């Protein structure tokens, strides 16, 4: 009884009209304020607890989302019908029981051996453990489960990744994805139209360094599944510089006894090369320029465009242009 009296006196002190003490009593005044705050907090906490106790003893009606899981599917079959992920259930009951179901809704298991399932009845059976709860309505009321023979198919993975490189930077080779294909599982009718599988769409801007990332694949649609979630994507990036070289023009597939001369006899090829390879390529000729004699025989203009071919694959070369684009030629026919 003395404890209750002490608490009562301190709560009354919260609303007292006592004047603020003088400076010499400031420490005592602060201590009294702390006691008032503590007393108020205790009273507030008790009030909240009492409010919950009283109100949660009443009946409530709420809507909960109950997860649906299909069980007992044979390994060589797959569910071909569309089964909702959740069922919407209206339940009523005492607040304490409602909270336990609302925070942790039970998972409803449907067996694939039954084609037409009364979901309302299934809910009442599985949530029947909560005897004080009343199931008012279930949506959908029925679920149809159909299965088909499972089929698999290996398809290539296609990049949906956009690389925007910084100025004067470029790729040393085509980006590589590992693995480069994925196994798709589903019904025969569903996978017949699947010819490729794309990565998720990603864009890299202002890129100036090598990139190596795990990239997610697109989510499979209804009735499909894949054996991968991500692929490893690698792209090598380097800074390029411009170079040029003069290349003589030669004739291929030239018949015996024939000769062709060109004016000019060589062309200037401009190309990009990685900066760290520039010093190695200055003293070599990585291209050849040629004209097929059969093209000359079909030409009646007297000017022709040579073909450019990279003959040294040790370097990462990108042809920019060559000049002149067309050259004159003269055929020398033996008498």
**C-beta of residue 250 within 8 angstroms of C-beta of residue 307:** no
Instruction: Name the residue with tokens 């005492």.
Output: 94
What are the residue ranges in the chain where pLDDT is below 70?
Answer: 1-29, 31-32, 47, 49-57, 95-96, 112-114, 127-131, 333-335
CA atoms within 13 A on the CB side of 65: 4
DSSP 25: G
For 150-169, what is each residue's pLDDT tens digit? 889 999 999 999 999 999 99
CATH architecture of 241-332: Beta Complex (2.170)
Q: How many CB atoms lie within 10 A of CB 206?
A: 9
Closest CA relative to residue 244, chosen from 286, 292, 302: 286
**CATH number corresponding to 59-145:** 2.170.120
pLDDT, residue 2, reads 47
pLDDT tens digits along 98-112: 777 777 777 887 776
- Global pTM? 0.58
Could you identify the residue written with the tokens 């007292």? Answer: 16
Alpha helices in the chain (DSSP H): 2-14, 26-55, 95-103, 119-126, 188-191, 278-281, 293-298
What is the distance between the alpha carbons of residues 180 and 110, in angstroms, rounded to a whole number?
A: 37
**Domain 150-235 class, CATH top level:** mainly beta
Length of the chain: 335
Residues facing 69 on adjacent strands: 109
Q: Which residues are within 8 A (CB) of 237 and not within 5 positions of it... i.e. 6 or more apart?
A: 165, 169, 170, 171, 172, 207, 208, 209, 210, 211
pLDDT reported for residue 146: 80
Give the list of residues 6+ apart from residue 37 with CB closer than 8 angstroms, or none.
Answer: none
Which pLDDT belongs to residue 289?
95
Is residue 172 within 8 A of residue 274, CB to CB? The reply is: yes
Count of helix runs (H) and strand runs (E) in the chain: 7, 25
Residues 123-143 have pLDDT tens digits of 777 765 555 777 888 888 888
């Amino acid at each position: 009884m003395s404890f209750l009296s002490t608490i009562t006196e301190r709560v009354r002190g919260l609303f007292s009209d006592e004047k603020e003490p003088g400076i010499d009593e400031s420490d005592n005044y602060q201590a009294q304020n702390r006691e008032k705050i503590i007393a108020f907090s205790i009273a507030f906490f008790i009030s909240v607890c009492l409010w919950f106790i009283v109100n949660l003893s009443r009946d409530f009606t709420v809507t909960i989302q109950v997860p649906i899981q299909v069980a007992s599917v044979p390994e060589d079959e797959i569910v071909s019908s569309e089964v909702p992920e959740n069922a919407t259930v209206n339940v009523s009951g005492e607040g304490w029981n409602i909270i336990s179901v609302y925070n942790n809704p039970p998972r409803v298991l449907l067996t694939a051996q039954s084609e037409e399932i009364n979901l309302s009845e299934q809910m009442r059976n599985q949530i029947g453990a909560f005897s004080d709860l009343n199931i008012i309505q279930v949506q959908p009321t029925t679920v149809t489960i159909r299965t088909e023979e499972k089929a698999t198919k290996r398809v290539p993975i296609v990049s949906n990744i956009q690389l925007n490189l910084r100025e004067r930077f470029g790729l040393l080779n085509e980006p590589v994805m590992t693995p480069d294909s994925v196994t798709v599982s589903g019904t025969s009718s569903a996978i017949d139209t699947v010819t490729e599988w794309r990565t998720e769409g990603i864009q890299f801007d202002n890129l100036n360094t090598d990139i190596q990332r795990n990239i997610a694949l697109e989510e499979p649609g209804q009735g499909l599944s894949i054996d991968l979630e991500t692929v490893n994507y690698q792209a090598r990036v380097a800074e390029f510089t411009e170079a040029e070289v003069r290349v003589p023009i030669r004739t291929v597939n030239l018949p015996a006894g024939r000769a062709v001369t060109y004016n000019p006899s060589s062309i200037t090829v401009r190309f990009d090369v990685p900066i760290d390879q520039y010093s190695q390529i200055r003293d070599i000729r990585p291209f050849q320029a040629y004209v097929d004699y059969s093209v000359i025989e079909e030409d009646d203009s007297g000017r022709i465009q040579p073909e450019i071919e990279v003959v040294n694959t040790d370097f990462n070369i990108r042809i920019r242009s060559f000049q002149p684009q067309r050259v004159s030629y003269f055929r020398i026919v033996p008498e």
